[in-house]
Amino acid sequence: MPKSSQAPQSPPSDEVFEGLASAKDMADLGLELISHLPLAPDEAERDPYLISFKLYNHNMCGIYELKNPRAKKALDLFKQVLTQVRSNTDLNRLRFPGRPVPEGGHYKKLYSTLPTEGELWECDLSRTSRLFFYPNQAASMFYVIAIRETHLETKKNWR
């Protein structure tokens, strides 16, 4: 089988990562190491999202109830948004632990501060604690809607 005519740009080091082959072995297999996720060309020029409490739902929030581990996780998530999220696609690519939630049941109350086209997302801070947010790619904003220490009743009042 003929070898590729493309030569590696830089010689791989012999540094071995726990549980992985050396960089040289990986290069021999045609694999390269990357230290971060590459950005799409249009995303590379964007600034990371800003975090806003403009749409914050004071009636549904329990931020004052957060205990240290959950508060630390929320701050870590905010740091990730402020430094790495440049589009809604980044939320998936970075394996951001959030997911869209339906506009029904008790979640409907959380939708009350969102624009009509807005989609509410939630992120687990613990088994029962949640961060609710609205990622708005057009505005490059991560709107915090609520932080809850207790779980919402989601089995009742579905439309």
CATH number for the domain whose boundaries are 41-148? 3.30.2310.20
Domain ranges of the chain: 1-33, 41-148
Distance CA 41, CA 148 (A): 37
Q: What is the pTM of this model?
A: 0.65
Dihedral angle, C-alpha 147, 63, 47, 110, nearest 10 °: 30
pLDDT tens-place values along the chain, 159 residues long: 444 444 444 444 444 444 444 445 445 554 444 444 455 555 556 788 999 999 998 888 788 777 888 888 888 888 888 888 888 888 877 777 788 898 888 888 889 899 988 999 998 888 888 899 999 988 999 999 999 887 665 444 333
